[in-house]
Structures are given as structure tokens and as C-alpha cells.
Amino acid sequence: MGHTAQKQHTVTGHHALNEWRHNVDKLNKAQNADAERVQKVTRNAVEIRRIESRSERIKQFQVTIRQGASIKNDKGVVHSNHQMAANLERSEEVDFAVKAES
């Protein structure tokens, strides 16, 4: 009878070990999913920051264009607007370059 109890105990131990392995597996999967989520959020945060900084630059350009437009000299205005457009274009190229790298 004692022998049977011993065998029963071994089976229970084996079952517990399997359950433990299963739980560890589940935990690992959950951690991996979390890591992926964190990566995604980080990527989004980087993207948001990039967009924010871009819209800041655009605002800055708009302000400068307005200031340029307030100059009475027509040539100054034209130069100012063209300069801003060129700067904006250049900043877009930089954005694309950054995107291509990431």
C-alpha cells in the first residue's frame, strides 16, 4: 500500500512539474507579447515626436514667412518665401531619410 502511495506521489510530482512548465511557457509568451507592445509604443512615440517637431518647424517657417511678408520690399518677401519653401522641402527630405534608416 505504501508503494502505491509512493507511485501516486511521483505522478502528482510529475503533473505539478508539467503544470509549472506550462505556466512558465504562458508567462514567457505573455512577456514576449508585452515586449512587442513596448516596442510598438516606443516606435509610435518616436513617430509622434518626429511629427511634433516637424509641425513645430512648419509653425516656425510660417511665422518667418509672415514676418517676411511684412517687409515692404517685394524682393525681400519673394526671397523669404522661397527660402522658407526650400527649408521646408529640405526638412521633408531629412524626414524621409530618417524613415528610410529606421
Q: What is the pLDDT of residues 75-92, one digit of tens each?
A: 555 555 566 666 666 665
What whole-number distance in Å separates Cα of residue 58 and Cα of residue 89?
11
The phi and psi torsions of 73 (rounded to 5 degrees) equal -70, 120
Q: Give the pLDDT confidence of 33-57 residue by residue, as tens digits.
A: 888 888 888 888 888 888 888 888 7
Domain residue ranges in the chain: 2-101
Residue 7 has pLDDT above 60, yes or no: no
- Which alpha helices (DSSP H) does 1-102 contain, by range? 2-69, 74-101
Predicted TM-score (pTM) of this structure: 0.35
CA angle 60, 64, 70 (to 5 degrees): 150
Using 50, 70 and 90 to split pLDDT, how confident is the model at 19?
confident
What's the pLDDT at 67?
A: 63
CA angle 48, 40, 92 (to 5 degrees): 35
